Structure 1
Amino acid sequence: MSASQQTLQELIEKGQQAFRNTFGYEAEVASFAPGRVNLIGEHIDYNDGFALPMALSMGTVVMGARNKSQSTADIITFSEKIDGTNRIQFDVKALEPSNPAISNCRWANYVKGVIYHFNHNVPGFNAVIVSNVPMGAGVSSSAALEVSTLLFIEALSTKRIASNDERAKICVRAEHTFAGTPCGIMDQMISLNATANHALLIDFRSLESWQIPFMSKSLAILICNSNVRHKLSDGEYGKRREQCSKALELMGLKSFRDVQPEHLSVLYKANDQVLINRTKHVIEEIQRTMDAAEALKNGDFKKMGELMKQSHTSLRDLYEVSCEELDALVDVANSCPGVLGSRMTGGGFGGSTVTLLETQCVDTVISNIKKMYKEKYNREADCFVVLPSAGARIIKL
């Protein structure tokens, strides 16, 4: 059984056994945080836009208990495809932001960053981490780890953070300062606030959010992991943020939500096609996301599918964050009967696609995708059907 097929209960049992075998006593505290897939609203969470993600049933469990030390953390991960060692020890009271470029254990930076920005006393502890969120697949394994770590140390220290908004901000600061990724706040927000059978419409200017019913027995959500991550992605995320900031500066604005036609004329006069394209994507993706939320509310899944197709075209042509493999996965999905719409999801340059399709067509679509991908790229595409699931929580052992 692959990690992505394991149920939450199986993850818990695996964690309990691993903790017992490693540390010789029973775990007392456990937390779970899900990964996510973004249905629409890509690369606009850091641009005051909207996004419409949903949580997955797949997630990350952090499980452990205090140890006899005052401040030593001893953590072992059983997650697949990690970078560096699978076990780390460090002093929770002596953490400083590190350079992720020279870190030989990237996963540990997320854990350390959360503890550092928790900004309250954390006792020495032992812990194990188990997860069935595919790493590097664009379904937010990093946010699942951050959020689960935060809930775990909250329970361990008995210090409670005031709100999920503040929890999300702590996790984002951890990713910025310890992992070196200038991410937005979407992944952490959906991991913390998700409700089963709902997507979450998030306004990133106000951090307001609305639960959008998303349930149909006749429809399914299919994620296809390309299992590629191009080196081109290194630094490209930050470059897109810089380009968006430059566009706003040229227009004399602080938010893309305030863009009017006369503002766009400034970019055309500057004759900077890259900034024009980036701006067009952000503005149009904001509108598409709001339209998608309305479509789900009204049960207009055909409209939702069309908006997903438009989103991918924009990400490919205007924002330029797709890649050949993602385009191929989207194209073959959209060519299959029963598919309403498909698009890349996540940061891009690899990772996964998300497809809305009729349940009765799932097996045929997966077969077609796998056959094409193997023949064209001589690699496997991992496909799994997901449902909108509940958010992060403490697990009673």
Structure 2
Amino acid sequence: MKQQVLDCFAKLFGGEGDIRTYFAPGRVNLIGEHTDYNGGHVFPCALTIGTYMAARKREDRKLRFYSMNFEKLGVVESSLDEFQMGKEGNWTAYPKGMMWAFCQKGFPVEQGFDIVLYGNIPNGSGLSSSASVETVTGVMLRDMFGYDTISMIDIALYGQFSENNYNGVNCGIMDQFAIAMGKKDCAIFLDTSDLKYEYAPVKLEGARIVISCSNKKRGLGDSKYNERRSECETALAEIQKVKDIKSLGELTEEEFEAVKDAIKDPVRQKRAKHAVYENQRTVQAVAALKANDIAKFGELMNASHVSLRDDYEVTGIELDTLVEEAWNCPGVIGSRMTGAGFGGCTVSIVKTEDIDNFIAKVGAAYKEKIGYAADFYVVDIGDGAGVLK
């Protein structure tokens, strides 16, 4: 993959000079959905699929971008003097947003670049292709300009800052953190309220992670993602009138039940319930994994999907079909939607000997009910973003 990107770079921009290569993975969240902006816990892992970048500094301030995934766009030319917050109109909003964020954080980007990207994450799938592009850009900028004081956690925070302020999506920190800080064969148990984290080995003896992509595209900015976040913020403000908390993630189920009537709107009450209960499910799921109780982990994954479907209402017929068909397949330990929802992917833990049957059966049922095919990826947990040697 690296060589393909370098070959494309040489063809477009010439092969001379200091051309460097980078990689940032995609991520999948095993459990803990829509908790990261509610001060709760998440449990994501980096994948071995992701975004490859070749880049070379320019002597001027011109930016030339090319994506091997969007060949019809050709080379997109821009400049460091042409930042257009929320108005870029194509994929270059993500690398440009990261360059803007570096400038805003006191790390100037004063030379332009020639850049070629290739990603083998399905676009719009909920596996964080956009955060992967942001993170690989951050790693490149740190390396190219020698900004060694910037940590990988800083890069994750700059990516979130860019997404929130340059691209207008009120995402939490999970995606960028998992991509920046990923570790092979481990998921990250992250407390989003204070960024305390630990690596938890994921030992799926006799089973593997299968991603099912609905192929229903979604854009976070024009989805109901921001609406859900606003609903939770309003619910939190209502609870704060009767209880001293900073986030919904601080509440146990019992504490929530005691104060839930402070939330006047029944829909907002359901949204807050999901945030609280999902956070507790995530804590319980990691404990189950540590105890090698993979069956319990699967049960909590299933309960997570039910909550996302009924209380948070972010699934839709495509994701529900994939999950419900998965639940009916032999060898499935657990299955749930992953990511923001409204399309995208599900994540399932499937016994190895049943994977082929799983893909065939779920794929056939999905195509019959939805009218077009889903794609399936049997994935491994990989390391976070970095410089390619």
What is the CA distance between 1:29 and its match in structure 2? 1.1
Opposite residue 294 of structure 1, the aligned amino acid is A
1:110 corresponds to which of 94, 103, 108: 94
What is the CA distance between 1:104 and its match in structure 2? 2.9
Deviates more, 1:372-381 or 1:44-53: 372-381
Residues 298-313 of structure 1 aligned to structure 2 (within 5 Å): 298-313=291-306
Q: How many residues align?
A: 379
Matched with 1:392 is 385
Q: Is the 8 A contact 1:333 1:369 kept in 2?
A: yes
Q: Quick check: 1:47 aligned with 2:38? A: yes
Opposite residue 137 of structure 2, the aligned amino acid is T
SS at match of 1:349: coil
What is the CA distance between 1:254 and its match in structure 2? 2.1
1:202 corresponds to which of 190, 202, 205: 190
SS at match of 2:101: helix
- Stretches of structure 2 that go unaligned for 5 or more consecutive residues are none
Q: Quick check: 1:77 aligned with 2:67? A: yes
What is the CA distance between 1:297 and its match in structure 2? 1.4
2:233 corresponds to which of 236, 239, 245: 245
Q: Quick check: 1:276 aligned with 2:260? A: no
Q: Is the 8 A contact 1:35 1:58 kept in 2?
A: yes
SS at match of 1:246: helix
Q: Quick check: 1:64 aligned with 2:55? A: yes
Q: Is the 8 A contact 2:215 2:375 kept in 1?
A: yes
* Percentage of identical aligned residues: 36
What is the distance in 1 between the residues matched to 2:139 and 2:256?
44
What is the distance in 2 between the residues matched to 1:112 and 1:99?
11
Opposite residue 56 of structure 1, the aligned amino acid is L
Report Cα offsets for 1:295-322 as digits up to 9, x if no partner. 1112111011000000000000000101
Q: Residues 163, 230 of structure 1: CA spacing in aligned structure 2 closer, same or farther, 3 A cutoff?
A: closer
SS at match of 1:307: helix
Q: Residues 96, 65 of structure 1: CA spacing in aligned structure 2 closer, same or farther, 3 A cutoff?
A: closer
What is the distance in 2 between the residues matched to 1:74 and 1:270?
50
Q: Quick check: 1:125 aligned with 2:113? A: yes
Q: Is the 8 A contact 1:62 1:130 kept in 2?
A: yes
SS at match of 1:308: helix
Matched with 1:145 is 133
Q: Is the 8 A contact 2:239 2:262 kept in 1?
A: no
1:371 corresponds to which of 333, 340, 364: 364
Task: List structure 1 segments (4+ residues) > 4 angstroms apart after TM superposition.
Answer: 230-233, 260-266
What is the distance in 2 between the residues matched to 1:17 and 1:229?
30
What is the distance in 2 between the residues matched to 1:219 and 1:202?
24
After TM superposition, the score normalised by the length of structure 1 is 0.91
Cα RMSD after superposing both structures: 1.9
Q: Quick check: 1:330 aligned with 2:314? A: no
Q: Residues 142, 39 of structure 1: CA spacing in aligned structure 2 closer, same or farther, 3 A cutoff?
A: same
Matched with 1:258 is 250
What is the CA distance between 1:194 and its match in structure 2? 0.8
SS at match of 2:76: strand
Deviates more, 1:258-267 or 1:142-151: 258-267
What is the distance in 2 between the residues matched to 1:144 and 1:36?
8
Matched with 1:88 is 76
What is the CA distance between 1:177 and its match in structure 2? 2.0
What is the distance in 1 between the residues matched to 2:178 and 2:256?
32
Deviates more, 1:253-262 or 1:237-246: 253-262
Report Cα offsets for 1:320-346 as digits up to 9, x if no partner. 101011101001111011101100001
Report Cα offsets for 1:127-164 as digits up to 9, x if no partner. 11111011110000011100001111221222224322
What is the distance in 2 between the residues matched to 1:233 and 1:74?
25
Q: Is the 8 A contact 1:229 1:350 kept in 2?
A: yes
Q: Is the 8 A contact 1:250 1:267 kept in 2?
A: no
Q: Residues 232, 35 of structure 1: CA spacing in aligned structure 2 closer, same or farther, 3 A cutoff?
A: closer
What is the distance in 2 between the residues matched to 1:289 and 1:258?
13
Opposite residue 155 of structure 2, the aligned amino acid is R
Residues 6-21 of structure 1 aligned to structure 2 (within 5 Å): 11-21=1-11
Q: Is the 8 A contact 2:124 2:219 kept in 1?
A: no
Opposite residue 135 of structure 2, the aligned amino acid is V
What is the CA distance between 1:70 and its match in structure 2? 2.2
Q: Residues 269, 208 of structure 1: CA spacing in aligned structure 2 closer, same or farther, 3 A cutoff?
A: closer
- Stretches of structure 1 that go unaligned for 5 or more consecutive residues are 1-10
SS at match of 1:227: coil
SS at match of 2:344: strand
Opposite residue 57 of structure 1, the aligned amino acid is T
Opposite residue 42 of structure 1, the aligned amino acid is E
Q: Is the 8 A contact 1:192 1:391 kept in 2?
A: yes
Q: Is the 8 A contact 1:33 1:392 kept in 2?
A: yes
What is the CA distance between 1:205 and its match in structure 2? 0.6
Q: Quick check: 1:98 aligned with 2:85? A: yes
